[in-house]
Amino acid sequence: MRNVPDDWDSYYSNCAACGKQVHASEGDCECYLSNPEYSERPWLEDSGYDYCEGEWSKIVSERKHVARKDHKDGLITTGQKYQITRTRMVDDKTGKSSHHNIKRVVK
């Protein structure tokens, strides 16, 4: 008596890059998520983008300011120096891009 379904092996596949056996529920192998060589948009690396976990990122601008008034978020107060770093994020699968701003106090 055999207690294994007929489609048992169809849930696993071998990674084309590293040969590791991956279950269908896990999605892509880790090597695809960390290596820009196996990404959908490898040319972005030539433009200075960094690749990590299926997303490309690049710092677009860094600007320093002196606050003229207190910020609503409470992070910056009047007279403090702060820096805004703007990063462009590009999704590897869809190609959609977005910008993320990070605000931090500069001493």
- Which pLDDT belongs to residue 79? 95
Which range of 7-11, 19-23, 31-35, 41-45 scores highest in mean pLDDT? It is 41-45
pLDDT-based confidence at 1, cuts 50/70/90? Answer: very low
> Residue 17 corresponds to which tokens in the numbers above?
């890059």
Q: Work out the average pLDDT over 16-40.
A: 69
> Residue 81 corresponds to which tokens in the numbers above?
């120096």
- Which pLDDT belongs to residue 107? 85
Residue 76, phi then psi, degrees to nearest 5:
-120, 135
Torsion of CA 18, 20, 24, 25, to 10 degrees: -100
Q: Is the dihedral of CA 22, 28, 31, 34 positive or negative?
A: negative
18 with 30: CB under 8 angstroms? Answer: no
Q: Is the pLDDT confidence value at 18 over 90?
A: no
Alpha helices in 2-107 (DSSP H): 30-34
